[in-house]
């Protein structure tokens, strides 16, 4: 299945691609695309052997894109959930695709915590078969808290946000909260790639996770 960015190269009619295309087209048309957004688009064009200038021209000259953003949060999340399924169709989510997803989600009014929550709730057996969901989540996490690519404050903040997302999506029950935060720690520790990445820069990933787990538990326990 083609990625989101590949679909941008054609006259999109499918609902799952059209809104995403229109959002990016409007950003280009009104000059509000950021250097980071442009860099992400350039990178994925390079990876997928797509002509960047053709893509930008295609988006900027599209026939007056009219964004009909879903009116409710539930509908927006459902739309973005479908994009996650698209991104994970090949059992992997490229960093550039994740970044573009975040751009689209942001322009739909969702924040980083919403994005994390969507990935945590969508990359499950309810939506993906076998271990595909786990692989997609690993790709997302590697891009999100990679200690080699992110500054210390950035990856630490992102990691804390993951635990906060778990806490905010847990019912008012201290025992259940502790269990869910512990499950999050164990799930992160199964990602040996991340464990090794932190080890290579002299950091104990397990210790860091346990510190975040305890801090968020104390913060959200009633």
Q: What is the pLDDT of residue 65?
A: 47
Q: What is the pLDDT of residue 213?
A: 96
Query: Of 122, 161, 168, which is closest to residue 144 (Cα–Cα)?
Result: 161
Domain ranges of the chain: 1-125, 146-222
Rounded to two decimals, what is the model's pTM? Answer: 0.64
Q: What is the pLDDT of residue 54?
A: 67
Pairwise CA distance, residues 26 & 22, whole Å: 6
Residue 151 burial class via C-beta count within 10 angstroms: exposed 0-12, middle 13-18, buried 19 and up? exposed
Q: What is the pLDDT of residue 1?
A: 40
DSSP 3-state assignment of 111? coil
Tokens 């409710």, residue located: 72
Q: What is the pLDDT of residue 58?
A: 61
- CA 156 remoteness from chain centre: 17
Give me the tens of pLDDT residue by residue for the chain, a chain 222 residues long. Answer: 445 555 555 545 555 556 666 666 655 555 566 666 676 667 667 766 767 776 666 665 555 445 577 888 888 888 888 888 877 877 777 766 777 787 778 778 887 778 888 888 888 888 888 888 877 887 787 777 877 777 788 888 889 988 998 898 888 899 999 999 998 898 788 777 778 888 988 999 999 999 999 999 999 998
């Amino acid at each position: 299945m083609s990625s989101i960015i590949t679909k941008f190269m054609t006259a999109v009619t499918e609902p799952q691609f059209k809104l995403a295309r229109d959002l990016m087209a409007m950003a280009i048309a009104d000059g509000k695309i950021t250097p980071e957004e442009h860099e992400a688009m350039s990178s994925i064009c390079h990876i997928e052997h797509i002509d960047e200038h053709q893509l930008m021209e295609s988006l900027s000259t599209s026939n007056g894109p009219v964004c009909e953003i879903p009116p409710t949060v539930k509908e927006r999340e459902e739309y973005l959930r479908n994009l996650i399924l698209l991104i994970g169709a090949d059992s992997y989510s490229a960093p550039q695709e994740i970044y573009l997803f975040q751009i689209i989600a942001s322009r739909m009014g969702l924040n980083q915590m919403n994005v994390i929550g969507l990935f945590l709730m969508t990359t499950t057996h309810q939506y993906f078969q076998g271990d595909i969901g786990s692989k997609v989540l690993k790709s997302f996490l590697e891009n999100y808290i990679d200690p080699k690519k992110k500054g210390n404050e950035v990856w630490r903040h992102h990691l804390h946000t993951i635990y906060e997302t778990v806490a905010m999506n847990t019912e008012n029950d201290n025992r259940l909260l502790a269990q869910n935060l512990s499950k999050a720690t164990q799930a992160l520790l199964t990602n040996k790639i991340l464990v090794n990445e932190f080890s290579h820069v002299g950091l104990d990933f397990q210790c860091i996770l346990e510190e975040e787990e305890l801090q968020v538990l104390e913060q959200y326990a009633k």
